[in-house]
Every structure is written in structure tokens, then in C-alpha cells.
């Protein structure tokens, strides 16, 4: 029985208010007291996230729905907020990860190095508030305002370290990309609201025959934010440039607002043509495979993680595509499994990618570098960070018993169910299955590399050798996230059941004749529990067997060579080389090699970089041409204010005349 959501909405509004006020207060306080500013910022973020999380969880479990409308004097605009299962579900990872990342940030920036902490907290809290507003908005104008506030707040966070040239460059790329995306969204909202003349979501109507074109426009706009290939170019620039807790929030939650947009669009528009479903499926598969392939070729830990966001958004989109196919072909089981898998992966990706970005931040904090080739042996020096990172790595590879497996399992089963049909639909299922398996294999390779080279073996640089475990305020959020990853993995059945109303909003009522107790098999949980129990039992047996026997320590066995050095170890480049070489045509890496020559080679070097293929082959040429084309209008730019005012006057007069004449 759906409950009334006004109390939840009230709590959420309160959280938004706290975020705004604490952000502004922190910024004001930052001028005279660093300490007060930080305390204000973190206290506001913490309180708001706790309240918001409570409201969202309660709203989802009670299936609360409701809307409120506050007066707002903007043409077509209304401050109308609504909560339903879909919004409540997206709010859970949002407040959870934002809160934990805020705790991480409070320790991460110490010392602040003369940077005003108020600037960080203002934009951080503003980002969290605007993301929540995007998810709650039920009016097109309000949505766009929140969307824009979110983009701007995150832009200022990306460029927080504005003394670094690469951060400014990354911020610029991000700003351009996100506004191109927003332009598409404005078009979508105008078209949707044209018929009724109202920008309320509830009044939206799809002009006859244009559902497909509208969906495509929306996919372009929201896909840019979500980071779908080939609209992902800003992601590998902005994520590494931003401070780690911000990267965690941006990658874990903010890009999911793009997914939320697509999902909300589906819910608002109702039926979309079948080719849209196929398109979404194909984009998901391509993003997934290419994202992880690009990740494999990276040496910068955070850049690697950023490409994994492209991969995971691809997996989510693959699930949504399957769900849309299920709706289109009238197979409720496929629809339910696809949407449930996609939505669950939204939550899961927020958890493990947040964890991994925080882990990368901890590594950078302890060693001062994100270059994988200069790290190594950190598991001994940072045991907690290492263990949490390993949990995140296993989870992101989709391996049991962690949470990544649960969502990929649902998508897999959805794809296998389409295989029971014949013809084209089954082919779609085969593509999804093979793409998921390929993504899984490549992700395992990539994280074997990331974990193995960064945390295992011997340190490859003095900085890595001198690393120490990060302070408790940094470790605690990571451990919480790791524990949540395992808990959702083992208790996926309950989580999926809680998700049912959100899935039903997209897939219709969930009817599964062969799985009456929900779409997630209970026996799966049993096997996973068995796996954990077996591992513990084996550990105990091993302990008993070794008790009382000699256990000695020695050097690693290297064919009798007893003086190994750190530089003899495999490098990240070398580890991934067989795969990156195989995908040469796709990755197009730049390689500079000075190979050893002669009988007694003196020095040799090998360097490879994998620049973004979409950027190098699509956007850079496009923007170069654009710059040339727009060069024609350069005479308009006189650099004098009078001229600009004159332009405004002329345009105003022409518009006025046109309006009055016609």
C-alpha cells in the first residue's frame, strides 16, 4: 500500500536547506577561521546526508509517493518536488556516498595549503543539494536549473586545484561537454511541454510520431552526463583532475543523474519505438567493452578508474536496453530482470567506484603520486586501504560474493531469457551475454593489474616505500563502503525485493511464473554463503595443518636468482601489453621505444600512451573545423563595450519589431 510521502519530502527539503545554509556559512567562515569553516561544512553535509538517507530509505521501503509545490515566480517554472520509488532509489546512493566522501574529505585536505576550505565546502554541499534536487524535481524548468547548478558546482570542484594547468584544462573540457548536453535537454523539455503549455512532468505529452526522435535527443543530453561512449570524453579528464572525494561523488553519483534522466524519460514518455531499445542495448555494449579496454591501457590510477565508469555506465545501459526490449516485445520477465539489474548496478557502482576512488585518493595522499608504475608493495604499508581496495576491485569485476556480481547476474539472466526466444531478440541476448563476459574478463585483467602493481610486490619508488597508512577519517569511509559491497552481495535477494516498486514503475507489475518468490534466486545466496564458509573452513584447516611445522621466510624464488630488485618486477604496461597490443587498432596508442641494441646494451626505454580515441578522432578535428568556421565572425569581437551594447540594442529592436508586426 503506497504511503503518503509528505513527511519524507519535508525531511528532504530540510536536508536541502541545511546543505545550502552550511555551505554558505562555511564559505563565509573560511575567510577568518579554517577550522570553523571545515566544521561547518562537514557538519552540514553529514546531517543533511543522514536525514536525506533516512528519508530515501523510508520512502523506498514504504513505497511512499507524493508531490509538493511551492510558489516560484519563474515563467513556466514551478518549485514542484515529488517523491516516488524511482526518486527514492536514486537518492539512497546519492546521500550515502556523498556523506561518506564528505568524511573522507575532512581528513583528505589536511593541510589545506592556504586554500580556502570554505570554497570547497560551499561547492561540495551545493553539488549534493543540486543532485538531490535533480532527482526530486517534477518541473522541467526546475530540473534544468538544478541540472545547471549541479554542473557548475562540480565544475568549480574539478578546478578546485586551480593552480594546476591540467585541472583548468579538464574543467574547461567538462564545462563545454556538459553544456552541449544541456542544450539537447532544453530542446527535449520544450518539445515535451509544447502541447500542454506547461512544464510540469505530469502535463508532458509526446507529440505524435516523434517519440523516437525525442528519446534520441534525450539520450544525447543525458548520455553526455552519464559518460556513454562516444560522449564520454570529459570523464577521463575531469575525474583525475578533481580531488579524490569529489571524483568519488562525481563518478559514483553525479554521472548517475544521467541514468536517472534516461529512466525518468522512459517513465514520463511511456512507450518508445523498438529501435530505441536496440540502440540503448548497442550503446551499452559498446560503452562497456570500449570503456574497460581504454582503462586497461592507462597508467594513471584515477584515469583508469574514470574509464571504468564508462564501462559500468555501459553495463547499466545494457541492463536498461534489455529491459526496454522486454517491454517492447512483451516479455515481462526480461523487462523486470533488465531494469532491476540496471538499477541495482547504479547502487552497486556508486558503492564500489566510490570506494575505489577514495582508495586511489588514499594512495595519492600517502605517496604523492597516482602513477601506477611508481607504486608497489602498498598492501604491507597500508593494510586497511589495501584490503578495502581489493574488496572494491573484486566487486567491480563482477565477481561473487560481492555486490557487482548481483547486478550483473540479473542482467545476465535477463539476456539468457531472451535466448529462449527465436530470431532477432535472441541475437540481442547473445550480444548482451558475450559483451558482459568480455567486459568481465577485461575488467578482471584490468584490476588484477591495478591491485597487483599498486599494492603487491615491492615498491617501485622511494615514495611508495615510505608510505604509511592514512588517518582513520580516511580509512573509515572506505571500510564502510567495502562492508556494504559484501553485504549487498550476500543479501542481494532482500535488496532486489526492496527495489521491486522502482522496477515496476518501468517494467510494469512483475509477474514471473517460474520464480514466484521474486526475481533473485534464494539458492544463489546459499551457494555464496557456502563459498564464504568454505573459505573460512579451509583457512582453519590450513592453520591446523601448519601448526607445529616449520614456517620460514625467504626471498621470492626467481629461478635461483637470489637478489631480485624492484625494477625486475612486471610493470603495469607489461602486464596489460598482450591485450592492449591485440586491440592496437582500437586503442591507437603512441609508443616511443628505444630498444636495447648491440651485445652489451647500455640503456633502453619504452613509453606508451593511449590518448582518448574519440577525442583524437572525433572531437579534436570537429572543434578545429568549428574554430576555423567561426573565425569568420571574429570581426564582431571588437573588445569594446560600446559595440556589445550596440549589438544588444539592435537585436532587441529587431525582435520587438518582429513581435509587433507579426
Nearer to other proteins (CB atom), residue 270 or residue 424: 424
CB of 592 to other proteins, least distance (A): 22
Residue (123 or 405) nearer to other proteins, CB: 405
Smallest separation (angstroms) from other proteins to the CB of 517: 11
Whose Cβ is closer to other proteins: residue 534's or residue 650's?
534
Q: State yes or no: residue 649 binds other proteins (CB under 8 A).
A: no
CB of 532 to other proteins, least distance (A): 8
- Distance between CA atoms of residues 232 and 507, nearest Å: 28
Smallest distance from the beta carbon of 13 to other proteins, in angstroms? 42
> How many CB atoms neighbour CB 653 within 10 A?
10
Residue 279 beta carbon to other proteins: minimum distance, rounded to whole angstroms: 16
Binding mask 291-320 for other proteins (x = CB under 8 A): ------------------------------
Instruction: Give me the residues paired with residue 606 across strands.
Output: 593
- Whichever of 160 and 575 has its CB closer to other proteins, that residue is 575
Q: Give the whole-angstrom CA distance, residue 238 versus residue 233.
A: 9
Please, what is the Cα angle at 556 between 555 and 560, to 5 degrees? Answer: 90
Q: In the stretch 583-602, what mask flags binding to other proteins with x, by CB under 8 A?
A: xxx-----------------
Query: Using CA atoms, how far apart are residues 157 and 250, in angstroms rounded to an integer?
Result: 10
Applying CB under 8 A, which part among 350-358, 449-457, 463-471, 498-506 lies near other proteins? 449-457
Per DSSP, 282 falls in state: H
Q: Among 456, 461, 473, 588, which residue sits at the site for other proteins (rule: CB under 8 A)?
A: 456
Is-contact 301 360, C-beta < 8 A? Answer: yes
Contacts of 618 (CB under 8 A, 6+ apart): 230
Using CB under 8 A as the binding rule, whether residue 417 contacts other proteins is answered as yes
Cis peptide before 54 (omega within 30 of 0): no
In whole angstroms, what is the distance from residue 534 CA to residue 430 CA? 33
Alpha-carbon gap, residue 211 to 215, rounded angstroms: 6
Q: Residue 593: enclosing H or E segment and its boundaries? A: strand 590-594
Using CA atoms of 645, 647, 649, 650 in order, give the dihedral in degrees to the nearest 10.
160
Of the residues 69, 74, 271, 427, which one makes contact with other proteins according to CB under 8 A? 427
Contact set for other proteins, span 359-388 (CB under 8 A) = 376-377, 379-380, 386
Q: Which residue number, 78 or 613, has a Cβ lying nearer to other proteins?
A: 613
Alpha carbons 42 and 47: distance in angstroms, whole number: 8
390 contributes a contact to other proteins by CB under 8 A: yes
Footprint (CB under 8 A) of other proteins, residues 69-98: none
Site for other proteins in 547-576 (CB under 8 A): 549-559, 564, 566, 568-570, 574-576
Among 429, 489, 493, 501, binds other proteins (CB under 8 A): 429
Contacts of other proteins in 607-636 (CB under 8 A)? none
Q: Which is nearer to other proteins, 256 or 449 (CB)?
A: 449
Where helices occur in 159-210 by DSSP H, the ranges are 165-193
Restricting to residues 499-528, which ones interact with other proteins according to CB under 8 A? 514-515, 521-524, 526-527
Among 24, 203, 213, 448, binds other proteins (CB under 8 A): 448
Q: Applying CB under 8 A, which part among 49-57, 259-267, 453-461, 477-485 lies near other proteins? A: 453-461
Q: Establish if 405 lies at the interface with other proteins (CB under 8 A).
A: yes
The count of residues interacting with other proteins (CB under 8 A) is: 88
Report the residue from 2, 270, 368, 441 that binds other proteins according to the rule CB under 8 A. Answer: 441
CB of 426 to other proteins, least distance (A): 6
Q: What is the SS3 assignment for 79?
A: strand
- Least Å distance, CB 401 to other proteins, is 8
What are the C-alpha distances in Å from 142 to residues 50, 138, 169?
Answer: 24, 8, 30
Q: Which is nearer to other proteins, 325 or 431 (CB)?
A: 431
| Cis before 111? omega within 30 | yes
Print burial letters for 142-160: b (CB count within 10 Å at least 16), e (below 16). bbbbbbbbbbbbbbbbbbb
**Residue 468 C-beta: closest distance to other proteins, Å:** 16
Shortest Cβ 291–other proteins spacing (Å): 15
Closest CA to 226 of 259, 262, 261, 180: 259
Applying the rule CB under 8 A, the residues between 154 and 173 that interact with other proteins are none
Q: What's the CA gap between 132 and 138, in Å, rounded?
A: 12
Give least dist CB 346 to other proteins, A.
Answer: 20
CB atoms within 10 A of CB 513: 7
Residue in the structure block whose three cell numbers are 588514499? 362
Please tell me whether residue 382 adopts helix, strand or coil conformation.
Answer: coil
CB of 565 to other proteins, least distance (A): 10
Q: What are phi and psi of 601, to 5 degrees?
A: -65, 140
Q: Pick the closer one to other proteins by CB: 531 or 645.
A: 531
DSSP reduced 3-state for 626: helix
SS3 of 81, please? strand
Shortest CB 578 distance to other proteins, Å? 4
Answer for which of 535, 597, 617, 638 binds other proteins (CB under 8 A) is: 535
Handedness of CA 647, 650, 653, 654 (dihedral sign): negative
Nearest to 94 by CA among 86, 310, 661: 86
- Record the cell numbers describing residue 161, joined without a space: 586545484
| CB of 316 vs other proteins, minimal distance in Å | 18
**Which segment (67-75, 115-123, 141-149, 454-462) binds other proteins by CB under 8 A?**
454-462
C-alpha dist (Å) from residue 257 to 86, 218, 443: 12, 13, 24
| Binder among 56, 325, 413, 502 for other proteins (CB under 8 A) | 413
Interacting stretch for other proteins, rule CB under 8 A, among 190-198, 304-312, 477-485, 577-585?
577-585
For other proteins, which is the closer residue by CB, 227 or 376?
376
As given in the structure block, the three cell numbers for residue 634 are 571574429
Span interacting with other proteins, options 208-216, 533-541, 597-605, 616-624, rule CB under 8 A: 533-541
- Name the packing angle between helices 117-136 and 256-269 (round to 10°): 20
Amino acid at each position: 500500500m503506497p504511503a503518503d510521502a509528505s513527511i519524507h519530502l519535508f525531511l528532504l527539503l530540510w536536508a536541502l536547506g541545511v546543505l545550502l545554509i552550511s555551505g554558505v556559512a562555511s564559505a563565509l567562515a573560511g575567510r577568518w577561521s579554517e577550522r570553523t569553516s571545515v566544521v561547518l561544512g562537514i557538519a552540514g553535509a553529514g546531517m543533511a546526508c543522514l536525514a536525506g538517507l533516512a528519508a530515501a530509505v523510508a520512502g523506498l521501503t514504504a513505497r511512499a509517493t507524493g508531490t509538493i509545490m511551492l510558489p516560484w515566480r519563474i515563467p513556466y517554472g514551478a518549485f514542484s518536488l515529488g517523491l516516488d520509488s524511482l526518486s527514492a532509489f536514486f537518492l539512497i546512493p546519492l546521500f550515502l556516498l556523498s556523506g561518506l566522501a564528505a568524511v573522507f574529505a575532512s581528513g583528505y585536505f589536511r593541510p589545506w595549503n592556504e586554500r580556502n576550505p570554505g570554497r570547497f565546502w560551499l561547492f561540495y554541499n551545493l553539488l549534493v543539494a543540486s543532485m538531490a534536487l535533480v532527482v526530486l524535481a517534477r518541473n522541467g524548468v526546475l530540473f534544468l536549473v538544478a541540472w545547471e547548478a549541479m554542473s557548475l558546482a562540480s565544475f568549480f570542484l574539478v578546478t578546485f586545484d586551480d593552480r594546476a594547468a591540467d585541472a583548468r584544462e579538464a574543467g574547461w573540457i567538462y564545462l563545454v561537454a556538459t553544456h552541449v548536453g544541456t542544450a539537447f535537454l532544453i530542446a527535449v523539455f520544450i518539445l515535451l511541454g509544447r502541447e500542454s503549455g506547461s512544464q510540469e512532468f505530469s502535463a508532458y505529452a509526446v507529440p505524435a510520431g516523434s517519440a523516437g526522435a525525442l528519446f534520441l535527443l534525450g539520450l544525447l543530453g543525458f548520455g553526455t552526463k552519464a559518460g556513454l561512449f562516444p560522449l564520454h570524453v570529459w570523464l577521463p579528464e575531469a575525474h583525475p583532475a578533481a580531488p579524490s572525494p569529489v571524483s568519488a561523488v562525481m563518478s559514483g553519483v553525479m554521472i548517475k543523474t544521467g541514468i536517472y534522466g534516461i529512466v525518468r524519460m522512459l517513465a514520463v514518455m511511456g512507450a518508445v519505438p523498438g529501435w530505441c531499445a536496440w540502440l540503448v542495448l548497442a550503446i551499452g555494449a559498446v560503452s562497456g567493452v570500449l570503456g574497460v579496454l581504454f582503462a586497461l591501457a592507462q597508467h594513471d590510477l584515477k584515469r583508469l578508474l574514470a574509464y571504468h565508469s564508462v564501462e559500468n555506465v555501459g553495463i547499466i545501459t545494457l541492463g536498461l536496453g534489455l529491459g526496454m526490449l522486454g517491454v517492447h516485445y512483451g516479455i515481462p520477465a526480461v523487462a523486470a530482470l533488465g531494469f532491476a539489474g540496471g538499477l541495482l548496478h547504479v547502487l552497486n557502482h556508486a558503492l564500489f567506484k566510490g570506494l575505489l576512488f577514495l582508495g586511489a585518493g588514499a594512495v595519492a595522499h600517502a605517496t604523492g603520486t597516482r602513477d601506477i608504475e611508481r607504486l608497489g608493495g602498498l598492501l604491507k604499508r597500508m593494510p586497511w586501504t589495501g584490503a578495502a581496495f581489493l574488496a572494491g576491485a573484486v566487486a567491480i569485476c563482477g565477481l561473487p560474493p560481492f555486490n557487482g556480481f548481483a547486478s550483473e547476474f540479473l542482467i545476465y539472466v535477463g539476456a539468457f531469457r531472451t535466448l529462449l526466444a527465436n530470431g532477432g531478440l535472441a541475437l540481442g541476448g547473445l550480444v548482451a551475454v558475450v559483451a558482459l563476459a568480455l567486459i568481465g574478463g577485461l575488467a578482471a585483467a584490468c584490476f588484477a593489474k591495478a591491485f597487483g602493481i599498486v599494492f603487491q610486490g615491492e615498491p617501485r619508488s622511494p615514495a611508495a616505500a615510505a608510505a604509511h597508512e592514512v588517518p582513520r577519517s580516511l580509512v573509515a569511509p572506505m571500510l564502510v563502503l567495502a562492508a556494504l559491497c559484501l553485504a549487498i552481495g550476500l543479501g542481494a535477494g532482500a535488496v532486489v525485493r526492496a527495489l521491486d516498486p522502482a522496477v515496476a514503475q518501468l517494467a510494469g507489475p512483475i509477474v514471473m511464473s517460474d520464480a514466484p518468490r521474486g526475481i533473485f534466486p534464494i539458492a544463489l545466496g546459499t551457494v555464496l554463503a557456502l563459498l564464504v564458509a568454505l573459505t573460512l573452513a579451509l583457512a582453519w584447516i590450513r592453520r591446523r595443518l601448519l601448526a607445529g611445522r616449520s614456517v620460514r621466510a625467504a626471498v621470492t624464488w626467481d629461478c635461483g636468482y637470489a637478489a631480485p630488485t624492484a625494477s625486475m618486477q612486471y610493470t603495469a604496461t607489461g602486464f596489460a601489453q598482450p591485450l592492449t597490443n591485440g586491440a592496437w587498432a582500437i586503442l591507437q596508442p603512441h609508443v616511443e621505444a628505444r630498444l636495447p641494441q648491440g651485445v652489451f646494451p647500455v640503456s633502453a626505454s619504452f613509453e606508451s600512451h593511449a590518448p582518448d580515441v574519440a577525442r583524437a578522432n572525433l572531437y579534436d578535428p570537429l572543434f578545429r573545423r568549428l574554430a576555423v568556421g567561426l573565425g569568420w565572425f571574429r570581426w564582431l569581437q571588437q573588445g569594446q563595450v560600446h559595440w556589445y551594447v550596440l549589438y544588444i540594442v539592435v537585436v532587441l529592436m529587431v525582435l520587438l519589431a518582429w513581435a509587433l508586426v507579426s
